[in-house]
Amino acid sequence: MRVSRKAGAEPAPSSRRQFASDNWSGICPEAWEALARANRGHASAYGDDAWTARATDLLREAFERDAEVFFVFNGTAANSLALASLCQSYHSVICHERSHVETDECGAPEFYSNGTKILLVPGECGKMDLDAVRHTVRKRADIHYPKPRALSLSQATELGTVYAARDLAAAGAAARDLGLRVHMDGARFANALAST
């Protein structure tokens, strides 16, 4: 069904609250003001500007790593490209059965990794059960099964729960023991930080 409206007419704002994603609401005034300050003068394109350099430094500081930082358009691109950089077509990614990578990205991680399989594990309140992860990794090792390569965690989870630092340390240790790389879907990372 097509909704028609007069050219130039603004859509009416909805009073309904939706917490499916942070991009369902308007931008907060502080962020809007920061964008207005950044929108002055001229700056080099393609990441060769002072704003990108500052954001990169802040991310390195927050994660306490001298990391390479790549800015992308949205979370699906971030997750898909990150997982594609970790996996080949014969690999698999292990994630919670309700994770964003599984339920909301419409096959993009599999597409960009040339067919990497997503293997699902259960767990309470959106958090992966590490015993289920171990079972999934050790279930099969034959040539006809996708080799487990990465463990993908959502922080905060789709159910609004947060992995505590000790939970993340345990997941990281389990991943190392199993020979897996760790990916974190950090779309709601700021919410997770604020909750601790």
Tokens (6 digits) for 128: 């992966």
pLDDT value at 167 more than 70 = yes
pLDDT value at 194 more than 70 = yes
Which residue, of 17, 43, 63, is where some domain finishes? 63
pLDDT value at 23 more than 80 = no
Q: Are residues 168 and 115 in the same domain?
A: yes
Instruction: Calculate the average pLDDT of the chain.
Output: 89
171 burial via Cβ count (<10 Å: 0-12, 13-18, 19+):
buried
Q: Tally the domains of the chain.
A: 2
Which residue, of 63, 89, 110, is where some domain finishes? 63
Q: Are residues 98 and 46 in the same domain?
A: no
Residues 102-151 have pLDDT tens digits of 998 999 999 999 999 999 999 999 999 999 999 999 999 899 999 999 99
Residues 67-84 have pLDDT tens digits of 899 999 888 999 999 999
Radius of gyration for the chain, computed over Cα atoms and rounded to the nearest angstrom: 20
Phi, psi angle pair for 179, to nearest 5°? 75, 25
Q: Are residues 96 and 54 in the same domain?
A: no
Does residue 69 sit within a domain?
no
CATH number of domain containing 97: 3.40.640.10
pTM comes to 0.82
Does residue 180 sit within a domain?
yes
Q: Are residues 56 and 82 in the same domain?
A: no
Comparing CA positions, the residue from 125, 144, 123, 142 lying closest to residue 134 is 123
Tell me the pLDDT band of 28, cut-offs 50, 70 and 90.
Answer: confident
Which domain, by its residues, includes 111? Answer: 75-195
> What are the percentages of helix, strand and coil residues in the chain, rounded to 5?
40, 10, 45
Q: Are residues 95 and 40 in the same domain?
A: no
Task: Give me the sign of the Cα torsion angle 6, 10, 15, 21.
Answer: positive
Does residue 135 sit within a domain?
yes
Comparing CA positions, the residue from 34, 40, 65, 69 lying closest to residue 55 is 69
Q: Are residues 59 and 81 in the same domain?
A: no
Does residue 154 sit within a domain?
yes
Helix then strand count (H, E) for the chain reads: 8, 4
Q: Are residues 90 and 179 in the same domain?
A: yes
Would you state the pLDDT for residue 2?
59
Would you state the pLDDT for residue 26?
79
Q: Are residues 113 and 158 in the same domain?
A: yes
Tell me the pLDDT band of 24, cut-offs 50, 70 and 90.
Answer: confident
Does residue 111 sit within a domain?
yes
